[in-house]
Amino acid sequence: MGFLKLGVACVVLDDEKRLLLSKRTDFDVWNLPTGRLDKGEWLSEAASRETREETGVEVDIVRPVGLYFQVGRNRMNVLFEGRLSGGTLQANTDESQENAFFSLKDLPSNLFGGYMARDAVAGGVHLHVLEIPPDKLKEINRKLAVRWVKNLFSGRPEPRWARFGVQASLAVVNSQTGEILSERYHNGERVLAGLNVNGNTPIWEQVRQHTRDKSSLYELREASLRWVGLYHHKGRGSFEFIFATEITPHSDLKVQGFEWTPADATTWWEGYAPFVRHITQRKQDVKLINEG
């Protein structure tokens, strides 16, 4: 199983609502400021760092926009919206051959990832799967290999992708009662169903199948999931992405260890308590908890 490669991207609009784009040196396409997450930094820090390194401008992170999984590349980008806060736009940098702001009505034809910008403008939180045809994937890998060699011989070797411990959990909300599905932890506290994920498929689909199979709630097969939370422990290099969905159960829950639990119950494990309360109160937001 391939490990999940975590990357970031940032949507930045200026006061005239023009979109900041960089023209990549490896693929010769316009793109949002994008890059990999390094060890020892928050996801939001990585998004602002990549924007600064690629364009020269400084941004304050406003909010998370969504998760974007690339099939065949074991990669998921976390997209943020940023607000200009300083710096100076550079014509080009070590990582870009050109940088510019574009009107949303007149974006370049060779723009990669335009759907991410549209998601940010539309508002809300998004989950997106990018399917890459095999021949296109082969071409991408070839160009990345060429870039790797060029950077190596120019004295700027690319670091390896950092490995992180990544989990996904799913809060299943009972649409009739407002209660949330929980399972009993070994100490008697209640936790969300979850698992350690890999980079083979979208992590929200992995946790959907895991929860469905473990709880026998087959109503989850067609349920729409949303991203509602992230717990990031930087010191441990671990992430837990939390998703939620609502279903109408067609029968009583009879799986041992599982039960419907009120969001404000005192039996929730303390790490999940802020998330389960948030799920019922602020459905359109992503709650972020960062610990050192």
One domain for residues 99 and 197: no
Whether 144 maps to a domain, the answer reads: no
| Kind and range of the H or E run holding 233 | strand 226-233
Whether 39 maps to a domain, the answer reads: yes
One domain for residues 22 and 78: yes
Assign residue 186 a region: left if phi > 0, alpha if psi is -120 to 50, beta otherwise?
alpha
Residues of the domain holding 120: 5-134
Whether 142 maps to a domain, the answer reads: no
DSSP code string of 45-106 = HHHHHHHHHHHSEEEEEEEEEEEEEETTTTEEEEEEEEEEEEE---S-BTTEEEEEEEETTS
Q: Rounded to two decimals, what is the model's pTM?
A: 0.92
Question: Quick check: 1 pLDDT over 70?
Answer: no
Q: What is the pLDDT, as a whole number, of residue 229?
A: 96
Q: Which of 111, 134, 157 is the last residue of a domain?
A: 134
One domain for residues 125 and 183: no
pLDDT in tens, 206-240: 999 999 999 999 899 889 999 999 999 998 989 99
Whether 139 maps to a domain, the answer reads: no
Q: What are the φ/ψ torsions at residue 263 (nearest 5 degrees)?
A: -60, -30
- Give the integer Cα–Cα distance in Å for 54 and 59: 12
pLDDT in tens, 165-195: 999 999 999 999 999 999 998 888 999 999 9
Q: Any idea what the CATH number is for the domain that residue 230 is in? A: 3.90.79.10
Q: What's the domain count of the chain?
A: 2
